[in-house]
Amino acid sequence: VFATPTAAARELAAEVRQLIEYRKAEGRNAVLGLATGSTPVPFYRELIRLHREEGLSFQNVITFNLDEYYGLAPEHPESYARFMAEQLFNHIDIPNENIHIPSGQVPGNQVFVHCREYEEAIEKAGGIDLQILGIGRTGHIGFNEPGSSKESLTRRITLDRITRQDAAGDFRGEQNVPHFAITMGVGTILRGRKLALMAWGENKAGIVARAVEGSVTDTVSASFLQEHPDARFFVDQGAASELV
Ligand code: F6R
């Protein structure tokens, strides 16, 4: 539990720096799983600062994003591809070919193959060293809405009503929010060697408490993190306020 999101984001970014430098010393790549949304913004800001002011290079970093809205082109203002470019990738020296984001535009009859190839690409990269996560008010990690099984892999999913309502502001109305997304599965996420979930503000306090202290259940996908050997929550005072 941290005093502010900035303090938590700095700590996590310092860990990412260590991982990147450690892997570089070994002559290997660091593989990061990344999230979008408002939560990781201070974390990405700190990574950009480390790059600009402290010379941290991302040349040996490979990234896999958790999810993308299905039906959106990468140029769409609310696509996660665009978000990642604006919030992180345009400001660091990561090679373009090292960036992976599920496609929101793959035709319906190719979704299954696309998702399988995404899983294969993660495996080929050596698996995810550190997976960054946020949490939705439905308890989703990635877009694994309630009912997602612990074994679920990358697939197309129907977004929950609450998730679409929460995105309505960004899309200027709930009617403009896509109904589907492509997301890594809970099983995909749980294969990551280390998991770090960030959450800020009282709005997230109830779901953080259920994820951390409630029973492990597919009605709260984030509760499966309790069964992972190296999963941590980075929260501010607000998000921690309903923890016992
Ligand atoms: C986004 C993602 C989602 C978000 C969650 C919280 O890639 O995987 O699980 O982390 O919806 O969103 P924010 O941070 O906007 O509250």
DSSP 64-131: EESEEETT--TTSTT-HHHHHHHHTGGGS---GGGEE---S---GGGHHHHHHHHHHHHHHTT--SEE
Whether residue 189 has its Cβ less than 6 Å from ligand 1: no
Taking CA atoms only, the protein residue closest to ligand 1 atom 12 is 37
Listing from the earlier edge strand, what are the strands of the sheet with 67-69? 67-69, 180-183, 155-158
Q: Is the CB of 33 under 6 A from ligand 1?
A: no
Mean pLDDT score across all residues of the chain: 98
Q: What is the pLDDT of residue 241?
A: 98
pLDDT of 181 reads 98
- 60 vs 190: CA distance, rounded Å: 23
Q: Is the CB of 134 under 6 A from ligand 1?
A: yes
Q: What was the pLDDT predicted at 115? A: 98
- The class of domain 5-240 in CATH terms is alpha beta
- Of 77, 71, 133, 68, the C-alpha closest to 99 is 68
| Ligand 1: centre distance to CA 198 (Å) | 10
State residue 230's pLDDT score.
98
pLDDT of the residue at 227 = 97
The answer to whether the CB of 155 falls within 8 A of the CB of 181 is no
Q: Is 35 in the pocket of ligand 1 (CB under 6 A)?
A: yes
Which residues pair with residue 77 across a beta bridge?
Answer: none
Which atom of ligand 1 is least distant from the CA of 67? Answer: 7
What is the DSSP code (8-state) at residue 2? B
pLDDT tens readout for residues 109-132: 999 999 999 999 999 999 999 999
Mean pLDDT of 154-178: 97
- 150: which 2 tokens? 């612990």
Characterize the bridge pairing of strands 155-158 and 67-69. Answer: unpaired
Query: Does the beta carbon of 37 lie inside 6 Å of ligand 1?
Result: yes
Q: How confident is the model at residue 35 (pLDDT cuts 50, 70, 90)?
A: very high
Of the chain, the percentage scoring pLDDT greater than 90 comes to 100
Tell me the CA–centroid distance for residue 25 and ligand 1, in Å. 32
Cα of 142 vs centre of ligand 1, distance in Å, is 7
Report the complex ipTM: 0.99
- Confidence (pTM): 0.98
Domain parsing of the chain, residue ranges: 5-240
pLDDT grade, residue 152 (50/70/90)?
Answer: very high
Q: Ligand 1 mean position to 167 CA, how many Å? A: 10
**pLDDT of amino acid 39:** 98
202-216 pLDDT tens trace? 999 999 999 999 999
Give the pLDDT score at 168.
97
Distance CA 156, CA 148 (A): 11
Nearest CA to ligand 1 atom 8: 142
Does residue 146 have its Cβ closer than 6 Å to ligand 1?
Answer: no
Best probe residue, ligand 1, of 69, 133, 140, 154 (max atoms within 8 Å of C-beta): 140
Which pLDDT value is given to residue 89?
98
